Structure 1
Amino acid sequence: MSFSVVTLVKGRKKQLQNMLESIKQGSRLPSEVVIVWMEGKSEQSSVEDDDLNIKQIYIEKGTLPLAEARNQGFRNTSFNSVIFLDVDCICSPTVLENLLAHLKQKTITSAFARYLPYIPFSGDYALTEADAYAHPKRAQLKAYEPLPHKKFWSLVFALYRDDFNEIGGFDEQFTGYGGEDTDFAERFNKLGFSFSLVEDEVLHQYHLKYSPPLNYVSAIVENANLFHTKHGYFPMYSWLQAFCQKRYVAFNANKNQFEVTRRPTLADINAVLSTQPY
C-alpha cells in the first residue's frame, strides 16, 4: 500500500532528522514524506535524504500556522492513505505499518506516545525507548476500541484522503498554538467518525515547555474564544483558569469571552518552565 507522511517543523531540524531516521528503520517505508516548514527556506530549514522521497513546502508567517500547515501538507500528498506525524516523533519500527493495517473508512487511527526527557543523538528507537515515560493521563487508554473524540491528538494520526476532505481539514481561522486539533475532533465526531488507537507507539523528543504555557497565552485565548463561538464551550480550560489565577487573563462576562489583561515578561515565562518530559 502506498502512503504519504506529513510533518510540520519550525526550528527543529535535529528532531526532524531523528524522525526521518526512525522512519527509514521501519517495516514500511512511506511513498513520500511531505515536510511543511513554517519558516523561510535556508540551510537550517532544509533536509536531503537519498532513501526517502521528500517534498518540502514553506509557509513564511510570523505566527505558528499549524492548521494551515497541516492542510498545505495534505494538499501536497499523492496517495489515499495519509499519516500525520509531529516532528518530535521517533517511530517504532512497526507503528506506521500498524496504523495502515487498521485504517478504516470514517475512522481516525492513532498510536500511543511515550516521552523522552532529552533530544537523542539519533532516531534509533531501540536505543532510546527504555528511557521514555508514559503520559499519566493517557497510559490507561485501550487500543482497538472507539475512544471519546476529545482524546484525539494531532501528534500521530492516520486517515484516508476522502475522509480528511469530508471533515474539511483543519480550520485555518485558528492561528498560533492551541484549539485547532480539538476543533478537528469536534467536527469529525459530528460527522459520525470514530477515533481509536493501535497497540504501538511513537517516542516524543523533549522540547522546552511551560506550565501553564505563558509563551502562547495570546494565541490560546484567541483560539479558545473562536472555539467557543463554534462549539459552545471553552477548550484548554485548565490553562485558561491558570492564566486567570495569575492575572494574565480575565473572563469578560458581558462578552462571554476571555481577554488578555497583562502580557507575561520573559522572566514570567521562564519562571513556569516545566521539567516534565510530557
Structure 2
Amino acid sequence: MRSPVSAVTIVKSRTEKLCNLISQLEQCSPTPDELVLVWMAPPSDLSLIKSDKFDIVHKFTTQGELPIAKARNKGMQAAKHANLAYLNVDAVISPSLFRDGLLALKDNSVVFTSVVFLPSERCNKTYSDISKNEQQIGYLASNDETLPEDDNNEIPSREKENHHGKFSDDSICSTVFFIRKADFQKTGGFDEGYAGFGLNDEDFFTNCRALGYSLEQLPTRTFAPQRPNYQCPVNHLLDFVHNAQRFYSKWGFYPCENVLNAYAEEGYINADFKANGVKIVQLPEHEDEAAITPSVDTLSPSSNANTVAFTSFHSPAKNQEVLSTTA
C-alpha cells in the first residue's frame, strides 16, 4: 500500500547506499507513493533505477556537479504530494516510518526521527537485524535522551547553545524529516548562499523556528553511520567561517559556538568574535589544507550556482535501456 507522501533524497557517488535505501523503502508499510531522486553529478548506469513498489522520478544536473542545498531544493520542489519526507541516502529507516511520520505531521510543523549512530559496517544490515541488537549497540544519537552521560569523539557534542544553535542536533534533524510542501515553500528552502561545509541545516531549522513551526521528534529511530568529531573541523575552516558570517547576518547570533570557540582556542580566528565578528587570524598548517585559499573575505557562492540546467523524467519500463552517461 502506498501513502500520499513524496520521499526525496539526493545522491552523488554513494550508489550502493542508494540501492540499499530503495530496498528499505520497498519494505516500508506503507511505502511512499514516489521517490524523487536528485543526482548531484552527471548520470550513471543507475540513473534510471526503478521500483515495482513506487514511482521513482529522476532529476539530473547537466552541468558539472550540483551543490547539496540546490539538490535538496530541486527534489522538494519537484515532489508531487503535499506531504514530503526528506531522507539522507545512507539512512537505515524503520518500516513504519511513513505511517509514523504522517500520523504526526500537521501544518506549520517539522517532524523528524531520532538518529542512532553506528559503525558503518553495521549500517549494511537490515533495520530489523540492527534493532535486535540495540541493547548491545547503545543509543548514540545526540538528539536522543538515551545518550550516555559522557560524550566521546565519535558523538557530536550535546552542549546546548542559545537560540537553538546546536551544531549536532539541527544537522541530525535533517537526516530524516517530514514537512508539508506548502510549509517548505514558505521557508524559501535551503539557503543556496552557503558555500561548502557547515550550517545549512542550522539555517534551515532556525528559519523554521522563526516562522513559528513546531519541531517534533518521533519515537521512531533511524540508524546512520557514525560521524567524525566535528568540534573543530579544521579542513573546513574557511567554509565554516564564511557560513558563520552569513548566518550571523541573517539571524543576529552565531551558531555552533562550540566550533567557533575551538577555532579561537587553536588561534585560527579571533577570540573576540562575538563582539567584533569572525576574522581569520591564521590558516592551519596541514597538508590537507594546501588547497585552502588565504582570503575568506573573497569567498562567495559559486557563480554558476543558479545556472544549473535540469532534465527530469520517470523511470523506464523494465525492458527499456538505461540512460547513457553521455546524455
TM over 0.5: yes
CA RMSD of aligned residues (A): 2.8
**CA 1:91–1:121 in 2, change beyond 3 Å: closer, same or farther?**
closer
How many angstroms does 1:123 deviate by? 5.5
Q: Deviations over 1:187-239 (max 9, x none)?
A: 22122111101111111034666553233222211111100111111112212
Q: What residue number does 2:143 align with? A: 138
CA distance in structure 2 between the aligned counterparts of 1:30 and 1:136, rounded to whole angstroms: 25
CA distance in structure 2 between the aligned counterparts of 1:83 and 1:107, rounded to whole angstroms: 13
How many angstroms does 1:47 deviate by? 5.7
- The normalised TM-score by structure 1 is 0.82
**CA 1:33–1:258 in 2, change beyond 3 Å: closer, same or farther?**
farther
- Residue type of the alignment partner of 1:177: F
Contact 1:10 1:38 in 2 (8 A): yes
**CA 1:46–1:258 in 2, change beyond 3 Å: closer, same or farther?**
farther
Q: What residue number does 2:277 align with? A: 256
- Residue type of the alignment partner of 2:5: F
2:167 corresponds to 1:162: no
Higher alpha-carbon deviation: 33-42 or 227-236: 33-42
- Residue type of the alignment partner of 2:113: A
Contact 1:109 1:198 in 2 (8 A): yes
2:239 corresponds to 1:234: no
Residue 140 of structure 1: SS of its match in structure 2?
coil
CA distance in structure 2 between the aligned counterparts of 1:203 and 1:95, rounded to whole angstroms: 12
Q: Percent identity?
A: 27
Q: What residue number does 1:50 align with? A: 51
Contact 2:6 2:36 in 1 (8 A): yes
Q: Deviations over 1:75-117 (max 9, x none)?
A: 1111110001111211111122100111111011111111120
2:181 corresponds to 1:188: no
**CA 1:61–1:266 in 2, change beyond 3 Å: closer, same or farther?**
farther
Q: What residue number does 1:66 align with? A: 68
Residue 196 of structure 2: SS of its match in structure 1?
coil
How many angstroms does 1:42 deviate by? 2.5
- Residue type of the alignment partner of 1:259: I
**CA 1:67–1:133 in 2, change beyond 3 Å: closer, same or farther?**
farther
2:109 corresponds to 1:107: yes
Higher alpha-carbon deviation: 114-123 or 97-106: 114-123
Q: Deviations over 1:254-273 (max 9, x none)?
A: 9612327314534689xxxx
Q: What residue number does 1:17 align with? A: 19
CA distance in structure 2 between the aligned counterparts of 1:268 and 1:226, rounded to whole angstroms: 22
2:88 corresponds to 1:86: yes
CA distance in structure 2 between the aligned counterparts of 1:202 and 1:47, rounded to whole angstroms: 26
Residue 241 of structure 1: SS of its match in structure 2?
helix
Which aligned segments of 4 or more residues in structure 1 are displaced greater than 6 angstroms? none
Contact 2:25 2:31 in 1 (8 A): yes
CA distance in structure 2 between the aligned counterparts of 1:30 and 1:112, rounded to whole angstroms: 20
Residue 69 of structure 2: SS of its match in structure 1?
helix
- Residue type of the alignment partner of 1:167: T
- Residue type of the alignment partner of 1:137: S
- Residue type of the alignment partner of 1:178: G
CA distance in structure 2 between the aligned counterparts of 1:18 and 1:207, rounded to whole angstroms: 19
Residue 203 of structure 2: SS of its match in structure 1?
helix
CA distance in structure 2 between the aligned counterparts of 1:202 and 1:105, rounded to whole angstroms: 23
Unaligned runs of 5+ in 2: 147-162, 291-327
